[in-house]
């Protein structure tokens, strides 16, 4: 993602790109849910989500989003170009397995993985069969982030999530130790 400032292109850091994606996802969830309370990168050991939205003014389902904009960026190219494609796919598969495990561990009713729109088809092909919970209840949703240069990025739900079971003890901890103590970053004020 590049931005032009005073005629010179400036490359945004991954942190800046992720921050812009957080806002785009928050806007998408704000439009999708009924009166949501939205937490932007909540600092809590209870839930490691980039965006946490709680439907129905904080009394409804939890929607947690993990944003991955740099899948495969740490890939070391082998010297032999014939091996590069195979090595790249192994690297991506390994990275996607780690990401999928992290998303599956989020204690939320609905879990999402946000990926850059440009790489969505390749990455979803690698993870498509792993979007479902092992017990059959729940499916990870996929959010596509589209970079629009100097304009704010957009976020679109490309694969709808399905409701997961959530451990009642974990849900109780999140409600008591996070949601009741931390004010949402985005809320409807009445």
Between 81-104 and 120-127, two packed helices, what is the crossing angle to 10 degrees? 70
* Cα 15 from Cα 88, distance rounded (Å): 24
* Cα 105 from Cα 171, distance rounded (Å): 13
Mean pLDDT computed over 21-31: 97
Whether the pTM exceeds 0.85: the reply is yes
The residues with which 155 forms a beta bridge, in sequence order, are 145
The residues with which 62 forms a beta bridge, in sequence order, are 54
pLDDT over 70 for what percent of the chain? 87
Q: What's the helix, strand, coil split of the chain in %, to 5? A: 35, 25, 35
Residue 86: predicted pLDDT:
74
Mean pLDDT computed over 125-144: 91
Is a pLDDT exceeding 80 seen at residue 33? yes
> Other CB atoms closer than 10 Å to residue 55's CB: what's the count?
19
pLDDT over 90 for what percent of the chain? 65
Residue 73: predicted pLDDT:
63
Burial 93-115 (b: 16+ CB within 10 A, else e): eebbeebbeebbebbbbbbbbbb
Please state the domain extents for the chain.
Answer: 14-179
pLDDT tens digits for 65-94? 999 988 766 556 556 666 666 777 787 788
Is a pLDDT exceeding 70 seen at residue 30? yes
């Amino acid at each position: 993602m590049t931005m032009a400032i005073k005629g010179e292109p400036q490359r945004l850091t991954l942190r800046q790109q992720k921050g812009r994606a957080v806002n785009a996802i928050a806007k998408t969830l704000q439009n999708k849910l009924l009166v949501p309370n939205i937490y932007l990168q909540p600092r809590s050991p209870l839930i490691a989500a980039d965006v946490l939205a709680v439907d129905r003014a904080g009394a409804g389902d939890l929607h947690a989003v993990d944003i991955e904009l740099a899948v495969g960026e740490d890939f070391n190219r082998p010297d032999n170009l014939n091996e590069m494609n195979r090595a790249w796919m192994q690297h991506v598969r390994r990275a996607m397995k780690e990401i999928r495990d992290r998303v599956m561990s989020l204690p939320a009713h609905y879990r999402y993985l946000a990926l850059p729109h440009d790489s969505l088809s390749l990455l979803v092909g690698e993870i498509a069969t792993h979007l479902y919970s092992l017990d059959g209840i729940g499916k990870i949703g996929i959010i596509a982030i589209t970079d629009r240069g100097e304009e704010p990025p957009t976020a679109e739900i490309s694969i709808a999530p399905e409701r997961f079971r959530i451990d009642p003890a974990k849900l109780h901890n999140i409600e008591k130790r996070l949601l009741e103590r931390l004010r949402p970053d985005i809320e409807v004020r009445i």
